[in-house]
Structure formats: C-alpha cells, structure tokens
Amino acid sequence: MTRFGKVAVLMGGSSAEREISLLSGGGVLAALKSQGIDAHAFDPAERDLVELKREGFARCFIALHGRHGEDGTVQGALELLGIPYTGSGVMASAIAMDKVMTKRLWVAEGLPTPRHVVLAEGEQDASHTRRVPDELGLPVIVKPPHEGSSIGVTKVVGYSGMRDAVALAARYDAEVLCEEFIDGEEVTCPVIGEGETARALPVVRIVAPEGAYDYQNKYFTDEVKYLVPSGLPAAEEAEIQRIVLAGYRTLGCRGWGRADLMIRAADRKAFLLEMNTSPGMTGHSLVPKSAAAAGIGYETLCVQLLALARLDGISVGGPRRGAATEG
C-alpha cells in the first residue's frame, strides 16, 4: 500500500451537501487507514488546496459532493497542482453536475431520459410556470439543475404548487429544471472503470415509504429498503446496465460513478435521471451496497477506486494517453 504515497481524502467542502460529504469522507478515511494507507482528512472549506502540494500529498480521494467538489472545479485545481485524483476529469465532472447539459447529451445520443422544460432566470413568473404542466403533464418534478441528494426537489401534483416549487429550486440555481414524472420504480446502478473496460455493478432497487426517497430518508432513517439483488428480470437488469454504461461513456466519465433511473410501470421502460460522478460512501449509500453484492467489500472498494486515481489524459506513472513516443 506504500505505492499510493500520502493520500488526502477530500471531504466537507462548501456545498449544500457538506454534511453528507463529511460522512462519506469519514468512511473512506477509516477504510483506507485500515488497509495500511497513509491517508489524511482534508477539508477544502477550511484549508487552501495549495497545501496539498506543500504537504507532499501524492493522491486525492475525492469524497466531496455537489458544488466545488463534484463539478470540475476541484478537479481543475488538482490538475494544475499535478496531483492525481479519483473519479471523472474536469469536463465530465462539470457536465454531469449540470443536469440540463447531461440531458442534452443523452437526448443527442438517443438515450432515454424524461422529457423536460428549463425555466431560465427570467422565465419563472406565473405565466411561464403555469405552462409547464400543460407540456409535461402532472405530476411534474421541479429541481435545481446543479444540486444533488434531492435538495430543492419538489413533486408537484397540481398547478397551484408550481410557484412554490420553482421558487424553492431557484434558491439554489438561476435556472430551474422541470421534468416529466415517471410513475414506477426507482433504481440505481454504479459503474467502475473507464471507456470500454468500464463495468456496471448490480442494479439496486429502491423502495421508499410512500415513494418519498428524499434527503431525510436517504441519509437519516432506516425506512428505505434497498434490494440488491434487485429482483428484476435478468433481461431488464441487463438493459438497465447497458444504458447506464452508454450514459456514463457519453459523458466521458471515468473511475467510478452512479446513475439514477426510473422504470416506468406502464411498459417497464427505464429512463436515465442523472449521473453522479462522486457518489456517496456513507452507511446508507448505494455504491457500497451494490459492490458488496458483487463480492467487493467496502475497504476493497475504496482501495480499488484510489488505484484508479489519475490526471486528465495521464495514467499515474505512465505517459499521456495518445502522446507520441520517441523511438
């Protein structure tokens, strides 16, 4: 394990998901230490990233969630510092963090994702918001495009609820994303690796009380059931894994990620909702649950992800991909 050198586990940060990031980072830190790795906690909200270079850190495990951690900004800083990091690079992180851009790419590639309407900053008045249910139907999901963990998300069941839902989402983002509601089962599917060698882990089926898979139920109750094996027909699970891998590769993701999907009850069609490039690693998180079903324990998973750390286009200890070599 000494080959990893001194490792920083980036956790906390300044996003609305700080609390969850501290839980994720704490779990990762303990796991890496248990495997004999020289790992240390590092909170970018409390320390300047330049200290990573000054203190001789050789790699970073990114356990940050949300803005300034999962959106390409920290990744860009680590690129400039020359310190390899876990997860996707700058561009893929930035795109995946923006649910609107993600959907545009998926639609362009013919991948299934719910129909949507984007309300720009000047289009959030009553006249504009009232038209959304006319186009998408009811219920409709209203959310900020750059947040995670169900923060700022509302399921609107009537026209009268649109105004408050849009106002809530607008507290977090200038734009507001409105999505067609897919009535059915919620599932998630992690991916490990890059390009053609990336592989999808087992699908996790999520059964929440009254369908309320919200921030509280995600992290702070034991009311949600996570079924893995999912219990889905083999062909259905294989199709979900196929479109998840396609969605992951379309965005240019690497290292690891987790896609969230809905399976429409009417015809069992799966729809991609979003791609998480720095998924949770808490006791309630879904990547560890899926990995366990594939025979990968939490500590082993953390070490495997750390081993995949690199810079954009550069493998640790190797040449830049695609670079000409002398000879």
Q: Which of 260, 285, 290, 312 is catalytic?
A: 260
Q: How far apart are CA 65 and CA 318, in angstroms?
A: 29
To the query of whether residue 219 is one of the catalytic residues in this protein, the response is yes
- The tokens describing 50, both together, are 């330049």
- The tokens describing 319, both together, are 């040449």
Q: Which of 85, 172, 213, 219 is catalytic?
A: 219
To the query of whether residue 85 is one of the catalytic residues in this protein, the response is no
Closest CA to 229 of 240, 243, 218, 214: 240
Residue 245: CA count within 13 A, CB half-sphere: 18
Judged on CB neighbours under 10 Å (0-12, 13-18, 19+), 120 is: exposed
To the query of whether residue 98 is one of the catalytic residues in this protein, the response is no
To the query of whether residue 280 is one of the catalytic residues in this protein, the response is yes
Tell me: cis bond preceding 44? Omega within 30 of 0 counts.
Answer: no
Q: Which of 12, 184, 252, 280 is catalytic?
A: 280
Q: Which of 70, 185, 274, 312 is catalytic?
A: 274
Q: Are 78 and 53 in contact (CB under 8 A)?
A: no
To the query of whether residue 15 is one of the catalytic residues in this protein, the response is no
Q: Which of 93, 276, 278, 290 is catalytic?
A: 276
To the query of whether residue 276 is one of the catalytic residues in this protein, the response is yes
Q: Which of 12, 13, 17, 147 is catalytic?
A: 17
Q: Which of 59, 205, 258, 310 is catalytic?
A: 258
Q: Which of 15, 24, 88, 149 is catalytic?
A: 149
To the query of whether residue 127 is one of the catalytic residues in this protein, the response is no
| Ramachandran class of 293: left when φ > 0, alpha when ψ lies in -120 to 50, beta otherwise | alpha
Catalytic residues: 17, 149, 219, 258, 260, 274, 276, 280
